[in-house]
Amino acid sequence: MMGSVEIEQTPFDKKFRGIVEEYIRESNKSIKIVTGEISAYNYFDLRNAVEEAAGRGVKIDVYASGPHTDIINRLIHHKINVFIGDRDPQEHFMICDERKVIVSVKEKNRTKRIGVIKDTANEVRKYMDMFEGLKKNARKQRILGKDPLLAALNHPI
Amino acid sequence: MVWIGAVHTSDKRHQLANKILKNLLTSSQANQLFLSDYIFNEIINNITNKQKSKNITNDERKKIITNIATSIYNSRYVKILKVSRFHIGTAFEYMLKYPDIFSSLTDWSSLILMKENKISVIKTLDPDFMTITQRLPEFKQIQVCKF
């Protein structure tokens, strides 16, 4: 148990992403994510980790406020539940196995988001409740529209 | 390369490559297409290099790269496999052992990834893959569909 620890900032968020990837790979029961546009999914390292976790049976729920349709479709295709809501909370976070949380927050006077790891039962409960609250008012998504590759093949550049 | 030709009209084998990928995506058997991150790198490099030699605007450049990136990277049917140090080490060893086979390090690593991930069919415009699967028993189970 470490309580609350701020993740050291490194170029290209290497340390933060490394910890996120490690936590995803270590999860064996559930992952709950709250984010905005799910832009972290564009990172090949994190995308692979989350898709492989879903592949080994980890239940993954993602709440987001404004992701692109292609991202939503790809997540659902990999058996990841996507919920879209109107609120983009200041804190984005990921709860792994209901045991630890990584929070990404944009603090005042800082241009970048900072990452904080929290693993006390109270903190985890707080974020679990926050997730459930957001999910309650969100819409569960299903695959919509044409796959982007098929679209590109029909309209090549 | 099938991937580049399929989405790029200026490629000389565009029609054929486009047809190959379309058929794969619309056939009932194919629900997953694989490429390595090295191949993805080659696709992006090839297209950006072509752009450098042409007079195109920044907006057009952005549009082309975004189009390629979203179409392949975000397709739900495409999985990009990671080439590791192990794959490169093994691929390089094959290159040294068989210098008479004119395959690139990327080609060798693709075959090694296929074997490791039990991917049985490769659709390619490159005849060198056939040479490898016919000569080396460890790659014999890979079916090369050449066009």
> Chain B: residue nearest A70 by CA?
B74
Q: Can you give the CATH number for the domain in which A149 is found?
A: 3.30.870.10
The answer to whether residues B146 and B131 touch, using CB atoms and an 8 Å cutoff, is: no
> Chain B: residue nearest A76 by CA?
B76
- Name which of B14, B64, B72 is nearest A149 (Cβ-Cβ): B72
The alpha-carbon gap from A88 to the nearest alpha carbon of chain B, in Å, equals 23
Give CA–CA dist A65/A85, Å, rounded.
5
Name the domain count of chain A.
Answer: 1
Q: Distances from the Cα of B57 to the Cαs of A27, A152, A157, in angstroms? A: 46, 21, 14
Give CA–CA dist A62/A35, Å, rounded.
8
* pLDDT tens-digit readout, B60-115: 778 777 777 778 999 999 999 999 999 999 999 999 999 999 899 999 999 999 99
Residues of A in contact with B78 (CB under 8 A): 149
Burial of A6 (0-12, 13-18, 19+ CB in 10 A): exposed
Please give the residue range of the domain that contains residue A67. 4-154
Per-residue pLDDT of chain A (157 residues; tens, 9 = 90+): 678 899 998 888 999 999 999 999 999 999 999 999 999 999 999 999 999 999 999 999 999 999 999 999 999 999 999 999 999 998 999 999 999 999 998 877 667 789 999 999 999 999 999 999 999 999 999 998 889 998 989 988 7
Query: pLDDT class for B28, splitting at 50, 70, 90?
Result: low
The alpha-carbon gap from B61 to the nearest alpha carbon of chain A, in Å, equals 11
- Name which of A70, A153, A156 is nearest B70 (Cβ-Cβ): A70
Interface contact flag, B71 A151, Cβ < 8 Å: yes
The answer to whether residues B47 and B1 touch, using CB atoms and an 8 Å cutoff, is: no
